[in-house]
Structure 1
Amino acid sequence: MSQRFYITKNLDTLEFEAANEWGYPRHKHNFFEFTYILKGSGQHLLNESIIDYKKGDLFFLTPKDEHEFVVDAPTTFGVIQFTEQLFLEKANFTSSTHWRKNLDTVIFYANNIPKSIVANDVDRIQLFYLYELIKNEIESPMTYSRDVLLNLFNALLMLVSRNLKSSLIKKEKSYNSEKEKIDSMLTYIRQNVLDKELIKIKSIAETFYMSPNYVSVFIKKHAGVSIQQYVLKTKIEMAGRLLKQTNLNISEIADKTGFLDSSHFNKIFKKYTGDNPSAFR
């Protein structure tokens, strides 16, 4: 059984060098984590997958993930750890509703794959520069440090979101198994659950090079639910976490998770969970 690690701050950084061993057992977190590879090489073991890592890679880990690193060449790790509460505090600094909703889906339903999340080299430079800025601001706080940190963190999440989204750009891909393909399709739906156009059957079919008539059959066969049911399940899970972990009111959560209004949200939430939102909270 893996260990679970905890943090008391809602944003913190950690940097260390591993000469031969990572120094931690296989574990999970109660927080989110960006792990930067500042130098070195080895393997990243995330859930059931293994992939080589090298200098310039960046990994995104959620509380659902279990992982460890196996060091081949001496490696310097840079880590940014943060909680959902910080993410929601940051959201107040983002004026674009479209971006807020996109970031919500990225954070609450991350693409849990072991590969580096950096999709292009220009963003790689900026992502690593932001790590240094955030680390320096935490280590040497000055006037308005909290505001500076929130804005730096906001920029970091924007770039992360762009890189995660770009990995879903339409391109032909071969899958090693049907499980890998359905996992990718469900990840796509989760990450785009608040964009009605992108989760239409036609868009899913074009993205994964499938016949529109077969998309629904494939998802039903391998996920055990229809696309519509999976979309609602995803929204309800997101709403449940917001109810438990934030002070947002019912109307705000209904809007954030894409329901028509609080009445519609109450009805659907109770149907899926057996409780109305207030009782669930």
Structure 2
Amino acid sequence: MQNVTSLPNMTSTLQLTGFHIGKFPSGWEYPRHHHHLFELLCCLGGEVEQEINRTTVILRPGDWLLINAGERHKSANTSPADYEFINVHFDLDDLEIRSLLGAAPYRLVPAAEAAGSERLGRYIQELRELTEHVPEGGAAGAGTPLEDKLLLQANILLIIREMLALIRVQGEAALDAVSVTPSAADAAHAIEERLSLGLSDHVSIASVAKEMNMSRSQCTKLFTKVYGLSPRQYVSRRKLMLAKEMLVKTYLPVSEIAERLGFQSASHFSRQFRRWTGYSPTAFKPRHQGNALVSHVPGEDRKNAPY
């Protein structure tokens, strides 16, 4: 008797545009800024003052801080000791993960709570070992073995996973202030469904808002609050995910993929795909596509089912 367990199909992109382990002396500061990435900080030694939207948070050894994308913040080491840290700027296109990560302007996980995860200590130690060979002030670049780069990304994902678990454990009280009503959540899901079904038809947030008897501003704010990204960002991420699937899993030419995703031309699609990934569509395609590839378009069967 055969016993087979099937796991869900998962296509998710991790973007790491900044990862640092180091220290800053007393008096160091970084001016107020914002970016469209999540920022995860761990204080390894000393302390640092983080000001997020005029709210001041002090990080001490063992504390973790997750700052939501788009939040204005600045940093300063006002203590006499060096501030030692791990800092990661990242993004993920998984909507459920983004919804939890972006549920509040920031989430502080104190050292006492972080200590409840034995895995975090192991992941940090492995990150330190992976970066030991990098000269002080240098960067882990072309000289880093491929397997170490993969291990680095894996550790970052595992740390994010632990942060998600710790945020959940913080309890419903921390989420009450940012929760949405069931009717608002239903409206956001309806917006998402309309955007998802209109990926190839140039559906606009203005038309969706009109269909739901909402202003464009209301529609955008509601969607962003529930999903952690704007409708425009959502459409871009969905198109990127489908583009990757079609490039890897089908025989479709780039021109047809561009048409199915609603781009004006293959060249327009190619430019946008390169902006998204740093690669051209043809470079992203596997060099030797085997018999496992099909002409069925991933996601096409979802048109009659909720996303």
The TM-score, its normalising length taken from structure 2, stands at 0.49
Residue 123 of structure 1 contacts residue 159 of structure 1 at CA under 8 Å; is this kept in 2? Answer: no
Which residue of structure 2 lines up, in the alignment, with residue 41 of structure 1? 47
Q: What is the alpha-carbon distance in structure 1 between the residues aligned to residue 224 and residue 34 of structure 2?
A: 27
Residue 35 of structure 1 contacts residue 80 of structure 1 at CA under 8 Å; is this kept in 2? Answer: yes
Pairwise CA distance, 1:37: 0.9
In 2 relative to 1, CA 145–20 (structure 1 residues): closer, same or farther, beyond 3 Å? closer
SS of the counterpart of 2:241? Answer: coil
Q: What is the alpha-carbon distance in structure 1 between the residues aligned to residue 231 and residue 125 of structure 2?
A: 34
Q: How many residues align?
A: 194
- Which of residues 236, 242, 246 is equivalent to 1:244? 236
1:53 counterpart = 2:47 = no
Which residue of structure 2 lines up, in the alignment, with residue 104 of structure 1? 98
Residue 118 of structure 1 contacts residue 124 of structure 1 at CA under 8 Å; is this kept in 2? Answer: no
**Greater radius of gyration (CA):** 2
In 2 relative to 1, CA 49–113 (structure 1 residues): closer, same or farther, beyond 3 Å? same
- Which of residues 141, 154, 157 is equivalent to 1:154? 157
Structure 1 residues 33-66: Cα deviation after superposition (integer angstroms, max 9, x where no partner):
2111111135321112113321111111233122
SS of the counterpart of 2:240? Answer: coil
1:59 partner amino acid? L
Which residue of structure 2 lines up, in the alignment, with residue 206 of structure 1? none
Which residue of structure 1 lines up, in the alignment, with residue 88 of structure 2? 81
In 2 relative to 1, CA 52–153 (structure 1 residues): closer, same or farther, beyond 3 Å? closer
Q: What is the alpha-carbon distance in structure 2 between the residues aligned to residue 113 and residue 125 of structure 1?
A: 23
Residue 224 of structure 2 contacts residue 230 of structure 2 at CA under 8 Å; is this kept in 1? Answer: no
Which consecutive aligned stretches of 4+ in structure 1 deviate over 6 angstroms post-superposition? 263-266
Q: What is the alpha-carbon distance in structure 2 between the residues aligned to residue 51 and residue 236 of structure 1?
A: 22
Q: What is the alpha-carbon distance in structure 2 between the residues aligned to residue 76 and residue 233 of structure 1?
A: 33
SS of the counterpart of 1:44? Answer: strand
1:28 counterpart = 2:34 = yes
Pairwise CA distance, 1:232: 8.8
Q: What is the alpha-carbon distance in structure 1 between the residues aligned to residue 29 and residue 225 of structure 2?
A: 38
Which residue of structure 2 lines up, in the alignment, with residue 217 of structure 1? none
Pairwise CA distance, 1:160: 0.7
SS of the counterpart of 2:39? Answer: strand
1:145 counterpart = 2:136 = no
SS of the counterpart of 1:20? Answer: coil
Which residue of structure 2 lines up, in the alignment, with residue 187 of structure 1? 178
- Which of residues 117, 123, 133 is equivalent to 2:126? 133
Residue 48 of structure 2 contacts residue 83 of structure 2 at CA under 8 Å; is this kept in 1? Answer: no
In 2 relative to 1, CA 233–134 (structure 1 residues): closer, same or farther, beyond 3 Å? same
Q: What is the alpha-carbon distance in structure 2 between the residues aligned to residue 244 and residue 31 of structure 1?
A: 15
SS of the counterpart of 1:247? Answer: helix
Q: What is the alpha-carbon distance in structure 2 between the residues aligned to residue 110 and residue 122 of structure 1?
A: 23
Identity, in percent, stands at 11
2:124 partner amino acid? Y
1:243 partner amino acid? V
The TM-score, its normalising length taken from structure 1, stands at 0.53
